[in-house]
Amino acid sequence: MVRLLQDPRKAGQPLLVLYDVQDDRRRTRVMAACKDYGLARMQYSAYQGKLTRTARLELETRLVKALGNSPGTIMVLQLEQAQLDTATTIEQLGDDDR
């Protein structure tokens, strides 16, 4: 059973994590960190969720360690709930997804 590093019942700010990491092992560490904090994968290299300020800082520290000296970029964006409420999502399922 996975133990989340933040209680999902705690209020938090919407967060978006985007990354482009070349090294497979480092990329796996970035993905694991996002999952450990309860973020949901929305694309191959994007996770979203809600984190408290403390959890966000912990996650950012872990992401820095995960990337190490490898080439790559990780962006952590804090959003406002209003941005998500007014966002438009366009999704087209491929034949394999139906």
- For residue range 50-59, what is the model confidence (pLDDT) as tens digits? 999 999 999 9
The model's pTM is: 0.81
- Separation of alpha carbons 6 and 15, rounded Å: 14
For the chain, domains (ranges, CATH) are 13-80 (3.30.70.240)
In sequence order, what are the beta bridge partners of 17? 47, 76
Asked if residue 20 belongs to a known ligand binding site, the reply is: yes
Q: What pLDDT digit, counting tens, does each position of 9-46 carry? A: 667 899 999 999 999 999 999 999 999 999 999 999 99
Query: Which pLDDT value is given to residue 26?
Result: 96
Phi, psi of 14 (to 5 degrees): -60, 140
Mean pLDDT, the chain, integer: 88
